[in-house]
Amino acid sequence: MTDAAHSPDDGAAEELLRRALLDASDAAAVSLAVGGLPVSEAVTVVFHGRRDLGTIQTYVARGHRSAGETIAARELLRVPCDLDLGEAEDREEAARLYLEQATALRDALVGADTVLGVWREPLEQLADGDVTVERSLELRTALPAHRLLPVALVAPERQLVVAPVCGARTLAEGRPPLGIACAQQDLARIYPLPDDPERCLAEFAELAAEHARELAQRLERQELSVERFLELSGEDPPPPAAPPLL
Residue 230 inside a domain? The answer is no
Per-residue pLDDT at 22: 38
pLDDT in tens, 45-60: 999 887 766 789 999 9
Residue-number span of the structural domain to which 107 is assigned: 8-195
The number of CA neighbours under 13 Å toward the Cβ of 236 is 3
Residue 216 inside a domain? The answer is no
Q: Band of the pLDDT at 239, cuts 50, 70, 90?
A: low
Residue 22 inside a domain? The answer is yes
Does the pLDDT of residue 14 top 50, yes or no? Answer: no
Residue 145 inside a domain? The answer is yes
Q: Band of the pLDDT at 151, cuts 50, 70, 90?
A: very high
Residue 212 inside a domain? The answer is no
Please state, in angstroms and rounded to a whole number, the distance separating the CA atoms of residues 45 and 79: 10
Per-residue pLDDT at 221: 79
Please state the pTM of the whole predicted model.
Answer: 0.76
Mean pLDDT of the chain: 84
Instruction: Sort strands 55-62 and 146-147 into parallel, antiparallel or unpaired.
Output: unpaired
What is the tally of structural domains in the chain? 1
Does the pLDDT of residue 77 top 60, yes or no? Answer: yes
Residue 59 inside a domain? The answer is yes
More confident residue, 129 or 171: 171
Angle between helices 91-126 and 197-233 (to 10 degrees): 70
More confident residue, 77 or 65: 77
Per-residue pLDDT at 23: 42
Residue 221 inside a domain? The answer is no
